[in-house]
Each structure stands twice: as structure tokens, then as C-alpha cells.
């Protein structure tokens, strides 16, 4: 089972989630819409991983803040994760967002507060187990500096592309690389 973890303000109905569902449908994928509250999102993901791992291998794909969560969860459960333009220091990058924040699914808003930044500190992974991670980053990411992720996951498998953006253009072109990393056969 593959679990896709969306980023800040995202949902399981975002563009990447839809692309990944379409491309990985036969492999088994879910893309839950998670709470914006970090502790609630992590608790939901821990429950899903604990439940699915009783029956099958579980793999993670995390994007942006979802990449930060995937890093923590991969370390916690000792499972593999593909990270798409991951946030490696969200307490810094999301500090400017402590206000009403957009929900990109329906254009509503939610309140991102200082205590959410504090919660994120609980999920920091200092010592990366490089074999658990595959970094996919695009240099054209307008929100996050790809070099931070490149350095944090220095010994992990990496594909760094010129151009692109934070939404990760052409993610479908890397499905084969993801499946190979997860050691899942392509059909």
C-alpha cells in the first residue's frame, strides 16, 4: 500500500494526488485529506500505517510539508519514503504563514498558529537513515530551496531536475523510479 501525504493547505484531491492515484491505482494507493493540525495529521497517518502494515508493505510519498511528515513516519516505522520537493525546515518556512491560510481544495481558510509550528518540532528527524529515502526535487521550486533537501538527504537516492516548480511538474514521468525504489514491479 502506498500512502500519499499532501502538503500545507493541500488535500487528497489535489493535482498530484489525482495523478498518483491514476498512475498507481493497480499498486494500491490512498491519498487521505489530512488535518492542518500537525499532531492530528501525524496521528491519522500513524493509524493508517499501523493498520495497513498488518496486511502488506506500506510505502510513503510525501510532498512539501507531507515530505516532512513522511520523513518522520519513515524513520518511526522503518519504511521507505519518496519525498517530492520536501520541506526540511517547516518551522522556518511556515513561520510567515501564522495567519489565515488558504485551503487549496475549496478556497476556504484555516488558522495556522504558533502552536502548530511548535508541534512540528516533535517530528524533526536529525539522523537520516539514507536507505529509507528517495529525494525528488526540482530546482525551479519557488517556495523551497532544493539545496536544503539535497543536503539533508545527501546519501539517499536523489533525482534533482532543472526547472519545474513547487507543484512538481511531470511527477508522472518518475513513477517507474518510485516503484523501483520501493521494489514494486511495474506491469
Domain chopping of the chain, boundaries: 2-182
Residue 87 has pLDDT above 90, yes or no: yes
DSSP letter (8 states) at residue 32: P
Q: Residue 20, class by beta-carbon neighbours within 10 Å (0-12 exposed, 13-18 middle, 19+ buried)?
A: buried
Looking from the CA of 144 toward its CB, the CA atoms found within 13 Å total 29
Q: Pull the grid cell for residue 112.
A: 495556522
Q: What topology does CATH give the domain 2-182? A: Rossmann fold (3.40.50)
Mean pLDDT of 139-144: 94
Q: What is the pTM of this model?
A: 0.94
The beta-strand segments (E) located in 19-153 are: 29-30, 59-63, 81-84, 100-102, 109-111, 133-138
Q: At what angle do helices 38-52 and 65-77 cross, to 10 degrees?
A: 50
Q: What is the per-residue pLDDT for 2?
A: 97
| pLDDT tens digits, 53-71 | 999 999 999 999 999 999 9
Amino acid at each position: 500500500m502506498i500512502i500519499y501525504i499532501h502538503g500545507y493547505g493541500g488535500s487528497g484531491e489535489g493535482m498530484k494526488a489525482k495523478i498518483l492515484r491514476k498512475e498507481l491505482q493497480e499498486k494500491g494507493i490512498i491519498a487521505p485529506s489530512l488535518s492542518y493540525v500537525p499532531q492530528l495529521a501525524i496521528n491519522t497517518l500513524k493509524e493508517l500505517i499501523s493498520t495497513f502494515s498488518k496486511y502488506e508493505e506500506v510505502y510513503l510519498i510525501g510532498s512539501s510539508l507531507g515530505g516532512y511528515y513522511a520523513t518522520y513516519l519513515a524513520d518511526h516505522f522503518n519504511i521507505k519514503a519518496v519525498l517530492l520537493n520536501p520541506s526540511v525546515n517547516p518551522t522556518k518556512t511556515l513561520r510567515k504563514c501564522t495567519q489565515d491560510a488558504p485551503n487549496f481544495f475549496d478556497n476556504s481558510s484555516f488558522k495556522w498558529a504558533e502552536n502548530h509550528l511548535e508541534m512540528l518540532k516533535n517530528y524533526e528527524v536529525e539522523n537520516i537513515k539514507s536507505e529509507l529515502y528517495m529525494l525528488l526535487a526540482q530546482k525551479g521550486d519557488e517556495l523551497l530551496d532544493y539545496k536544503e533537501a539535497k543536503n539533508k538527504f545527501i546519501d539517499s537516492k536523489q533525482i534533482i531536475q532543472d526547472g519545474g516548480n513547487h507543484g512538481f511538474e511531470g511527477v508522472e514521468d518518475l513513477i517507474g523510479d518510485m516503484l523501483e525504489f520501493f521494489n514494486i514491479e511495474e506491469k
